Amino acid sequence: MIASNRIADGTFRVGVGLQKAWGVQMATAFFFGEAGAGLYFVAQFFGFVPGMVAGLLMVLFGKAGGHVLHLGQPLRGWRALTKVRTSWVSRGLAAILLFVVAGALHVIDVRAGVLPAGVSQLVAAVALAACFVIMVYQGFAMSQSPAIALWSGGLMPVASLTYALLNGVLLTLVFGFGEHFLAERPDTVRLLQVLAVALMLYGLVTVLCLLNGARHASEGGRQSVAMLLQGGFARWFVPLVIGAGFVVSALMMLAAPPAFAWMLAVAGLELTGYYAFRVLVFKAGGYDPALSFAYRFRH
C-alpha cells in the first residue's frame, strides 16, 4: 500500500497538500484582469470607447483592488516593481501601471484628440502591448514554478489568453449592443459570434489538455484533477466551467438571435464558468508529497 497518494492537507501525514496562499481574492483579481484586459483589447480594435473605459476600470479597480486586498502588507505593494527581471508578478504589475496610464491617455486622445499623430499611435500601441501582457502574464505567473502540477503546465498562459479574448469578445457584444459599430454592421456581429464560439471550443480543448497534462505530471496533479472531475469540486467544475462556461454558452451563441438579453445570458454563463475556473483551479492546486520516493526505499 502506498500511503502518499492521498490528500494530507493540514495533517502531519505524507501526502498531497493543498495550497492556501491564493484564494478567492486572487481569483477575483485574475478574473477582472483577464476580463478587463480582454474587453479593452477588443474594444480598442473597434475604437469602441465605452468598452475601453470599462476595461480600464475593471483592471484598475477589480484587478488591482483584488490584489491590494490580498496582500499581507499592501502599503509596500510598490516593492513588487523591483524584480521585473525574474518575477512574472513583478512584470504583471509593471504592465498594469503602463496599461492604466497609456490606456487612459489613449481614451482621452480618442475623445479629445490632444496628442500629435505619432505620439497618439505610440500611446495606442503601448496600451495594447501592456494589455496583451495582462492577458497572458497570469498564466505565466502560475506556471512559472514547478510546485503545483495543475498550474505548471505550459498551456496555462494559453488558457489565460484564450479566456481573456473570449471575455473581451463577449463583453464587447454586450456593451456594444446597439452601438453604431455593431448595429450598422451585422456582419461584424456575426464575425464576433463565430469568433466567440471558436474561442469557446479552443478554450474547452485547452482546459481539457491542462487537466490531462496535470493528471500525468505527478501525484499532486493527479489528485488535483481527481478533485475537479470526481471529488468535492466536481459538482462545481463540471457544470459551471465545462457546462455553462463552454458547452451551453457555445450552443446558445450558435443559435443566438440578435437580442441583448440573449447576449447578456451567454456572456453571463461564460463569465460564471470562467470565474469558477479561476477559483477552483486555485482551490484544487496540490503540492506533491515532499518525499514521494520514501516508500521506494523499502521495496
Partner 1 sequence: MAKWGMVFDLRRCIGCNACAVACKQENSLPDGVFFTKTLSEEVGEYPDVTRSYVPTICNHCEDAPCERACPTGATYTRPDGIVMVDRDKCIGCGTCIVACPYDQRTRLEPEMLNKGLFGDGRLTPFEEQGIGRFTAGTVVKCTFCHERVDAGLLPACVATCPTEARIFGDLDDPHSRPRQLILERRGRQPLPEKNTNPRVFYID
Report how many residues bind partner 1 under the rule CB under 8 A: 52
Contacting range for partner 1; rule: CB under 8 A; set: 75-83, 114-122, 203-211, 229-237: 75-83
By CB under 8 A, is residue 290 in contact with partner 1?
yes
Residue whose CB is less far from partner 1, 75 or 112: 75
Nearer to partner 1, 74 or 186 (CB): 74
- For residues 102 and 110, give the distance between their C-alpha atoms in angstroms, rounded to a whole number: 12
Question: How far is residue 95's CA from residue 134's CA, in Å, rounded to a whole number?
Answer: 6
Pick 34 or 219: Cβ nearer partner 1: 219
**256-285 positions binding partner 1, by CB under 8 A:** 285
Q: How far is the CB of 220 from partner 1 (least distance, A)?
A: 9
DSSP string, 173-211: HHHTTTSHHHHT-HHHHHHHHHHHHHHHHHHHHHHHHHH
What residues have CB less than 8 Å from 287, skipping those under 6 apart?
A: 16, 17, 18, 19, 147, 148, 220
Is 121 a binder of partner 1 (CB under 8 A)? Answer: no
- Residue 80, CA distances (Å) to 32, 77, 84, 100, 201 in order: 19, 6, 8, 17, 36
| 69 lines the binding site for partner 1 (CB under 8 A) | no
Binders of partner 1 in range 5-64 (CB under 8 A): 8, 12-14, 17, 19, 21-22, 26
The CA radius of gyration of the chain, in Å to the nearest whole number, is: 21
Q: Would you tell me which residues interact with partner 1 (CB under 8 A)? A: 1-4, 8, 12-14, 17, 19, 21-22, 26, 67, 70-74, 76-77, 79-83, 86-90, 93, 141-142, 144-148, 151, 218, 285, 287-288, 290-295, 297-298
